[in-house]
């Protein structure tokens, strides 16, 4: 279980990323209740203190809301969720561009390459 996390990055943020992706994929929907801190710790084999920090972090980004005595829920605020979606896109792109630059590709090459790839695989990824 533990090898689902990278040992050199904070686990609380890796877990937060995992939850954000679950929301984007629709596995968690607005208003859904997240597992309790302990349950989540069990599922992910992570220290409950770390889960607590993950929930606090997500709360700070207004992605989840904690209701007293009831638990933690995915926000129903569309604006916050759209913002999260945008941010995640930027992060993924910057990661991709960084590794392309590392391999020595120029911006123009990346752009045409990406365009060509998207055109070819159009049937697969199209909405």
Partner 1 sequence: MIQLEQVTKKFMNKAALKNVDIELTKGKIIGLVGENGSGKSTTLKLIAGLTKPTKGTITINGVQVSRLANQVSYLSELDEYYRFYNVGQTIDFYASQFADFNHEKAEEIRAFMNLDRSAKLKHLSKGNRGRLKMVLTLSRNVPVILMDEPLSGLDPMVRESIVKGLISFIDLEHQVVLITTHEIKELEAILDEVVLIQGGNILGHKNVEQLRLEENMGIVEWMTKVSG
Residues that bind partner 1 (CB under 8 A): 1-3, 5-12, 38, 41-42, 44-50, 53
Would you say 45 or 94 has its CB closer to partner 1? Answer: 45
Which among 37, 80, 89 has a CA at the least distance from the CA of 62? Answer: 80
CB 37 within 8 A of CB 80: no
CB 51 within 8 A of CB 44: yes
**Structure token pair of residue 63:** 């992605």
Angular region, 71: left φ>0, alpha ψ -120 to 50, beta rest: left
* Smallest gap from residue 95 Cβ to partner 1 (A): 15
Would you say 44 or 63 has its CB closer to partner 1? Answer: 44
Would you say 5 or 105 has its CB closer to partner 1? Answer: 5
């Amino acid at each position: 279980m533990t090898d689902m996390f990278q040992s050199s990055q904070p686990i609380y943020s890796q877990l937060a990323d995992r939850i954000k992706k679950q929301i984007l994929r629709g596995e968690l929907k607005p208003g859904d209740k997240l597992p309790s801190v302990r349950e989540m710790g069990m599922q992910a084999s992570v220290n409950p203190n770390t889960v607590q920090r993950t929930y606090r972090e997500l709360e700070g980004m207004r992605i989840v809301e904690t209701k007293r005595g009831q638990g933690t829920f995915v926000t129903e605020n569309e604006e916050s969720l759209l913002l999260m979606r945008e941010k995640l896109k930027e992060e993924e792109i910057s990661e991709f561009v960084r590794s392309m630059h590392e391999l020595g590709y120029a911006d123009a090459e990346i752009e045409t390459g990406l365009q060509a790839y998207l055109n070819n695989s159009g049937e697969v990824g199209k909405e």
